[in-house]
Structure 1
Amino acid sequence: MGYTFQFGVVLDALPDLLSGAAVSLSLAVASMVVGMLLAAPLAVAAAGRNLAAKTPARAWIELARNTPCLAQIYAMYYGLGAVGIFMPAWAAVFLAISFNNAGYLAEIFRGGLNGINANQFKASRSLGLTPAMAYRYVVFPQVFRNTYNSVSNQFIWSMLNTSLGALIGLYDLSGVAMDYQMRTFKTFEFFLAIAVAYIVLAKLIMFGMRFLKPGGANA
């Protein structure tokens, strides 16, 4: 076809690509931490019988899980901007993916809660623990252990979702590639490079989560 591949331009852009990868990974980590902190009370509320708590929790979960992550990013960036709340691309992507993670993780945790014998919570309460302490020290350590693989998969999914931020000007891994592609017209080279980079990032997350797993790497 007469096309000559020029991967040298990718090597020239490597420092910026690595910087963009760091942005993608930091966003994934931050949104996972916030998502997990939000997901725990959402899961408890969604699994409970108190309609005043259950209804908004279920609404959050359904909205997060049944709308595109891109729409959620646009809502944070353009939607809030339309009513006078402006934020940088990084913040909009962080809030949107945290919202998305919270919904998915809440459903994961709710399934984990259903697998825990309710008598354990009652026994904890009979020993003098408050409901919050019972969930923190007795119930959720077991939930987290039982749902660890699903949480790991969500971590990878959130990292991949950060690529959508390039559509609102985020200079992450995908944003860097799009910028260089427009300057050099080397579409195949840059997007093949970041495809490999995302695979590497996903494998690094899997490797890291394996060694953070409760019980050790071989558990």
Structure 2
Amino acid sequence: MTYQFDFASVLDYAPLLLHGAWITLVLSFWATVVGFVMGTACAVARTSGPKWLQMLVGAYVEIIRNTPLLIQAYFLIFGLASVGVRMPIMVGAVIALVVNIGSYTTEVMRAGIESIRTGQLEAADCLGLSRTQTFLHVVLRPAMERVYPSLSSLFILLMLGSSVLSAVGVEELFGTSNQVQSATYRNFEVFIVLGAIYLGLTLVLRVGFWALGQVIFPRRRKLGTAL
């Protein structure tokens, strides 16, 4: 049995697929930015906050990391709607991604913060640095530098994982591919093209994070430890 490939009919829908890829990147961008800020704040709270706040953040991390992203998205978009709290699907999708990636970022940043040695804090105190200066320059920046490769991989996985949001009606890349399959009946070719696009997006993001690391962490570049 021979299979006749027909990529031409699939490529006729290239604008639709590219639009889906753009939506995927937009979702991933906002989720990465807001999720990083949220995760960093939670990491600080979990390492140096009051006991009740540490327990609250710990509960958030455990609940989110041990439940599927799809369930979280369903809860935000459809579950809350059943009790009168409605939001646009795109807004719910971004919130679901932020909440999800924020929990993982919390643990990664917590590991980075806890890797800072006490001697460095004592040295900062001897130099007369304020608590804010010590946190920003002695704790946060070195912590970010140490976990930057892990964060980069985490955010790339976020982009790939956003494909599950097609199940709640988000017209991202995987969601638009369903339309192409329905119109062309060329499922095999669609999945090949889809895989190629995801691979291209991943490579673009890896280069982007590498370039960003070169700019914000020049010491890694000088030591030859950059991504």
TM-score, normalization by structure 1: 0.92
Question: How far did 1:137 drift?
Answer: 3.2
Shift of 1:2: 4.8
Cα drift, residue 8 of structure 1: 0.9
Q: Which amino acid is the alignment partner of residue 52 of structure 1?
A: W
> For residues 163 and 178 of structure 1, what CA distance do their matches in structure 2 show?
11
Aligned partners of 1:97 and 1:161 also within 8 Å: no
Amino acid at match of 1:34: V
Q: 1:116 matched to which residue of 2?
A: 116
In structure 1, C-alpha distance between the alignment counterparts of 2:136 and 2:19, rounded to whole Å: 37
Structure 1: runs of 5+ lacking an equivalent: none
Of stretches 152-161 and 84-93 in structure 1, the one that deviates more from structure 2 is 84-93
Q: Is the CA contact 1:10–1:189 (under 8 Å) kept in the aligned structure 2?
A: yes
Aligned to 2:107: 107
Residue 109 (structure 1) shift: 0.6
Equivalent in the alignment of 1:199:
199
Q: CA RMSD of the aligned region, Å?
A: 1.8
**Offset of 1:190 from its aligned partner?**
1.1
Equivalent residues of 1:89, 1:165 under 8 A apart = no
What's the offset of the Cα at 1:63?
A: 1.5
Cα deviation, residue 79, structure 1? 1.2
Q: Cα offset for 1:156?
A: 0.6
Aligned to 2:7: 7
Contact 2:10 2:184 in 1 (8 A): no
1:79 paired residue number: 79
Q: Which runs of 4+ in 1 moved over 3 A?
A: 119-126
Equivalent pairs counted in the alignment come to 218
Point out where structure 2 has 5 or more consecutive residues left out of the alignment. none
Q: Which residue of 2 aligns with 1:161?
A: 161
Q: Once the 2 structures are TM-superposed, how far is the Cα of residue 195 of structure 1 from its aligned partner?
A: 1.2
CA shift in 2, pair 1:198/1:119, >3 Å: same
- Partner of 2:130 in structure 1? 129
SS of 1:144's partner is: helix
Query: Would the alpha carbon gap of residues 119 and 79 (structure 1) be closer, same or farther in structure 2, given more than 3 Å must change?
Result: farther
Share of identical aligned residues, percent?
A: 31
Instruction: Report the alpha carbon displacement of residue 125 of structure 1 after superposing the two structures with TM.
Output: 5.5
Which residue matches 2:96?
Answer: 96
With 186-195 and 108-117 compared, the bigger mean Cα shift is at: 186-195
Map of 1:61 onto structure 2: 61
